[in-house]
Structure 1
């Protein structure tokens, strides 16, 4: 499950993801992401990726996660923030991808903490 919000006051583009993302839901996410990004100037916004509710991804889904990170980076937001999954294994998976991609993202424990520093 996912949800995309644009907070014009905070100039933040918020993506909340939890559970498993199935292929059909992933395709819908890409469409929604592009549609919402098209409504703003990403260089003026910070992206917030809320992953607290993410669960461990199957091995075959790792490349999809890598592609999402690349897409986020290519969008060119002003800054990137995130929240780590509560699952220790999901956190390790995400950390590995972030490090391999050299994705410059500031992680906090909760969305509230992220929004307080934007």
Structure 2
């Protein structure tokens, strides 16, 4: 499950991901992401990726997560923030992909904490 929202006052593009993303839902996410990104100027916005409730991904879904991170980077947001999953294994999976992609993202404990500093 996911949610995409734009906080215009904080200039934040927020993506919240919960649970386990199925392949079909991933395809719908891409469509929704592109639709919402087209409504903002990414160079003026920070992206927040809230993943506290993300769960362990199947091995075959890890490349999809990597592609999502590449897509975020290619969008060209001003800055990137994220929250680590509560699951230790999911955190390790995400950390590995972030390192492989050389994704310049600042992690905080919660989306609300990130919004406070924007």
Measured against the shorter chain, the TM-score band is over 0.9
TM-score normalized by the length of structure 1: 0.99
List gaps (5 residues or longer) in structure 1.
Answer: none
CA deviation after TM superposition for structure 1 residue 112, in Å: 1.2
Matched, 1:110 2:104: no
- Residue 77 of structure 2 corresponds to which residue in structure 1? 77
Matched, 1:7 2:32: no
What CA deviation, in whole Å up to 9, does each residue of 1:42-87 have, x standing for no partner? 0000000000000000000000000000000000000000000000
4+ runs of 1 displaced by more than 4 Å? none
Matches of 2:114 and 2:88, distance apart in 1: 20
Matched, 1:49 2:49: yes
Q: What pairs with 1:23-102 in structure 2 (closer than 5 Å)?
A: 23-102=23-102
* DSSP 3-state at the match of 1:53: coil
More strand by share: 1
TM-score normalized by the length of structure 2: 0.99
